[in-house]
Every structure is written in C-alpha cells, then in structure tokens.
Amino acid sequence: MKAQGTAAPRPPRIRARTTSIAAFVVLAALIPTTASASGTQQAEAELPYVCALPSGGLPATVRISADLPERADRGETFTPDAVTTTVELPAEAVADLTATAPDATEVRAATRLGIGLTQNAATAAATWRGGSGPVALPASGPLTLVSKGDVPSVAGQSDGDLAFSAGDLSIDLALGAADGAATDTAADAPGSLTVDCSLADDAPDQGLLATVPVGTGGPGASGSPSPSGSATASGPPRDGQGGQAEERQGERSPKVLEDSPGAAADRDVPPCRYDEQHPPASQSLNAYITGYTNVNKMKGASYLPVSCMLIEQGIPELVSIDAESMVFNTVSYGNFHYRERQETPPFQSTFLTFDFVPVKATMVLKQTGPVRIDSLLKTPLIPFEGSVTTMDTYIRAPLTLQVTALEVNGTPLDVGSECRTETSLTSAEPDPANFPGDHLVVFGRGEQVYGQVVVGYQLTSGGVLSGEVSIPAFTGCGTDGEDLDRLLTASVSGPGNYIKQVQGQTCAVMNVNVQECTEDLQPLEIPVAER
C-alpha cells in the first residue's frame, strides 16, 4: 500500500522522454536500493539448527551472509547490507507441511533471526527480519527458503571489537496453491504455521558471524571474539526482545536503532486520538497498523508506514448453534485517520533507477468507503480441557493508491492532482454474494486453547493479518497533455501481490488500561512491520 525507491538529468530537447522515464520508475520506489560502501567485509556462516515441527525436533542448516564494515568509529552508526538468511529444512519437514495443508503446492516464508551483539562485557540484541517469494513444495528431498530484508542499524559505544552472533530463528510459513487459491484446511491463511528453531549445541563459535573493530583499539584489542577465535558472546533473546541491551561493569552497550513494539517514548508516528470532530463512543478503539506488500512486477516489497485506525467495535451476534459449538459474528467498522482525512500518512520513497538516476515519489492510500471488520468466533458449547476456540477476522477495505508528487534528480515533475488507481485495490473475496464490489481483503486467525492465552490475531489485541492484492490500472496521471497512465500501469499494476499487515494492541478509550493507552488516550503499542 506504499512505496519506496531512485533516477540523471537529460538535455532539454528530450524532456518528454525524461518525464516518461520518471513515470516508469515511480513504482520502482517499491524496491529500496542500497549501495555497498567501500571497505566492507562479507560475513558468511553455515550453522546447524534444530527446528520444532509438528513431528518433533528436526535438524536444519541455516546459512547467513551480510556485508559489514571492516571497521567503525566509536558511536558511528552503520547498517548491515545484503543480509540473506537461507534455511534448508529436511524432507521430514516437507511432509509435516504437506500434512498441515494437503492442497498446498507452494510456501512463502518470513524469518526473524535473533542477533546477539557483544562489545567487551556489554551486550545488546537485534532482530534481522526477511521474507521470501513463493517456493514450490518439493515432491521429495529438502526445502530451501531464501529470505532477504532490511535490518536495524547499530553503533558500537566503546572502543573494542563489536561481535555479531546468530541466535534463535523463527520462520512464519504461509501455505497456499500456486494459483493463489487458498487451501481447504484450517491452515489456509498465510502465516498459518510458525516454526521455532534454536542453534544446535555443536554450532561452531556459538553462532559467531563476524566482528567489526570499533574505535582506536584495533582488531582484538578488547578481548572480544574474532572471526576465528573463541566466541564468548551470549546468544540473543527470542524475537520480540530486539533492541533490549545490558550494560555490565560500566561498559556502554551497543546501540540498536530499531523501533520496539510498545515503546511510548519518542513516538515518531502520526497522532491517533479521538477529538471533538470524532468523539468516542462506548465501544471505541484506536490502533496503529503497519506492514509490507509485495509488488510482483518490481520483484520487491514496499513498506506500509505506521498509520492510525479509529474503530467502532460492534456487538457479538449469534450466527449458528449446534450440539457441539456456537458461532458468533461481531461487525465493526474502522477508518484511517490522518489530519482529519480518511487516509494514510503520505510516504516518500527515494531510489536509484538504472543505478544512477535519483527519483523520489510521494504516495498515499485513500479510503473510498468504510473499512468493515467481521470477527467470527467459534467456541465449544461446553468448554473442556484441551478444547479450542477460534477467531477468524476478515477486514474489507476500499482503498485507492494515489501518487501525489515526483522528483527526478531533484527536479519536480507534475503528475497532476488526480494520479491514482482507477478503482480500489482488490482481493479475491471469499463471500462475493454478500460483499460485492472492489476492495482489499486481509485475514487473521486467533486460537485459544481452554485455560490458555490467545495466540494469533484478534481485533482487540492485534497481530498479523495477510492476504493478496491486485493493483488496478492508473488514471489521471500527467499534465500538459502528457498521458502517463499506461506507463505507470505497465510498471506496477497486476495481481497476486502478497500483503502482510501488523496491527498493534488497541486502546479502549472509554475503558482505559494504562498498559494499552497513553495518558492522552492514544495506542501505547507501536507495531513493527514484518516481512
């Protein structure tokens, strides 16, 4: 639903062609391009892991690579580049996936790799996240998943070697059919299976990936591990604790520049509160959402910026009842809320096209109608130990994508005030008879085993929502008689673009919980996008 991306000046006599090139690359903004700096080292490691699958713990091989600087100054911020996590699961794991969703023919993966940072006696933790495109499930043999993504920047706060070590790995697996159709099992929703993996006991050097000398101490001066030396770095905590740091014996912990879910301080996000123009009702909720969406034509993923959603929660209504269970549906409605408009914040994307032309595009998602939220709860008529309650949530949103501004090599190019998709972004609708028309559909599932906490998504506590979206043709793009519609359409429009959204914990503004709301009744939790 948003974009990111880059383009050199041309002589005035071919301005029209330059404008066309600019239009062509608008959606190349969906692929962030990062140039590797000189003086880099390539970290490569092949590590043994043990992964918990339905059939039990299975061995797996994980190969990790990244470009890191050869050295850095104290306090200097740098970002690991070209980060790739390759997971090879054994044939037994493929059998587990096939048993989970018998109709599935392909799988997508999102990885979360815990990274331990050690400098002298101080430690910190980060999370390296990545995602893969669809991979065919093999008829036999192992399954290889290659995951890539952006990772947080870091900075060594003291002199001495800064060591990077691999820790726990979580893999979200989305099973589906090659044509994009859902499977016919309970696992048909993307992200239906999460596999947790831990470093094997015989992993060399406790998962050490590389060290970066920081400050004046030089390589190895601090006594911290070197690439071939004995590692003393403690493993990172499990995902969700990224960014936490520990200081020991007066040492300053390495700094991780990563948004932490739930952080209330330094809120670099749009306001999300009710006001006189939008007074709350008894069931009013507000929440932040963010995420990524693939753009197949661009072979990349686009960041969906943190956005505010104001929600009016409905009342549960009984849908059906039989001898074993009851089904309730709660219909709620929501609206994006940004500067009194039902839209997301504008987002800018700067990128390089043809490896040398800088281009910056500004885009926004606009509602054309209310966002409907259907929450279906199926619960046993008589709960018992081991019984499961499921919560399936379908969110239907009519949203158009608008390009509001474009710059090529610092020169503004006028795309006009009406450059947008012809219709709403669309998804395959599971119930077209009751929900006709063009709209986006994302799905989330939550489950609760009797006596235990809810896992997965539910409207009030948030979680991961996912689906696929078709991007329609563009219209209204260009001025002075220059029609850029077809160029934009050819560059980005098309079906089957996987979308993964993360909603944070809601704030119930009429029933305030200090663990969920700020003092001025905004959502306390700021979610972090996952690929």
Return phi, psi of residue 485, to 5°.
Answer: -60, -50
With contact defined as beta carbons under 8 Å apart, do 211 and 223 qualify? no
How wide is the angle at C-alpha 244 spanned by C-alphas 239 and 249, nearest 5°? 135
What residues are paired with 43 via a beta bridge?
A: 66
Answer positive or negative: Cα dihedral of 413, 416, 420, 423: negative
From 36-45, 96-105, 159-168, 397-406, the region with the lowest mean pLDDT: 36-45
Beta strand spans in 356-398 (E): 357-367, 371-380, 388-397
- pLDDT higher than 80, residue 176: no
Tell me the pLDDT band of 21, cut-offs 50, 70 and 90.
very low
Tell me the pLDDT band of 412, cut-offs 50, 70 and 90.
confident
For the chain, count helices (H), then strands (E). Answer: 3, 31
The residue type found at 104 is A
d(CA 235, CA 139): 36
Phi-psi region of 296 (alpha: psi -120 to 50; beta: other; left: phi over 0): alpha
From 258-272, 275-289, 296-310, 438-452, the region with the lowest mean pLDDT: 258-272
- pLDDT higher than 70, residue 430: yes
Average pLDDT score, the chain: 79
In the chain, what percentage of residues exceed pLDDT 90? 44
Residue 431, classed as helix, strand or coil, is coil
pLDDT in tens, 67-81: 999 999 888 888 898
Of 308, 304, 328, 355, the closest CA to residue 526 belongs to 308
Residue 225, classed as helix, strand or coil, is coil
CB atoms within 10 A of CB 99: 12
Tell me the pLDDT band of 199, cut-offs 50, 70 and 90.
very high
The residue type found at 72 is A
Q: Residue 17: enclosing H or E segment and its boundaries?
A: helix 15-25
**409 is written with which tokens?**
């090599």
What are the percentages of helix, strand and coil residues in the chain, rounded to 5? 10, 45, 45
Largest CA distance in the chain: 78
d(CA 172, CA 56): 17
- pLDDT higher than 60, residue 362: yes
Mean pLDDT across 54-76: 91
What residues are paired with 507 via a beta bridge?
A: 286
Tell me the pLDDT band of 369, cut-offs 50, 70 and 90.
very high
pLDDT of residue 215: 84
Tell me the pLDDT band of 174, cut-offs 50, 70 and 90.
confident
CB atoms within 10 A of CB 100: 18
**352 is written with which tokens?**
């390089």
Q: Which residue has the higher pLDDT, 528 or 227?
A: 528
With contact defined as beta carbons under 8 Å apart, do 447 and 189 qualify? no
pLDDT of residue 130: 84
Of 443, 437, 360, 340, the closest CA to residue 403 belongs to 360
pLDDT in tens, 328-340: 999 999 999 998 8
pLDDT of residue 298: 65
d(CA 312, CA 370): 11
pLDDT of residue 357: 47
From 126-135, 382-391, 484-493, the region with the lowest mean pLDDT: 484-493
| Cα-to-chain-centroid distance, residue 79 | 18
pLDDT of residue 144: 94
Dihedral (C-alpha) 231, 237, 242, 248: value to the nearest 10 degrees?
A: -60
| Cα-to-chain-centroid distance, residue 359 | 24
In the chain, what percentage of residues exceed pLDDT 70? 77
**116 is written with which tokens?**
């331990």
pLDDT in tens, 271-289: 999 988 789 998 999 999 9
CB burial class (10 A; 0-12, 13-18, 19+) of residue 384?
A: exposed
| Strand 56-69 with 40-53, pairing | antiparallel
The residue type found at 359 is V
d(CA 500, CA 464): 7
The residue type found at 43 is A
d(CA 115, CA 378): 39
Question: In which residue are the tokens 């947008």 written?
Answer: 420
Tell me the pLDDT band of 360, cut-offs 50, 70 and 90.
low
Q: Which residue has the higher pLDDT, 357 or 158?
A: 158
Mean pLDDT across 169-185: 65
pLDDT in tens, 137-154: 888 889 999 998 768 888
pLDDT of residue 328: 97
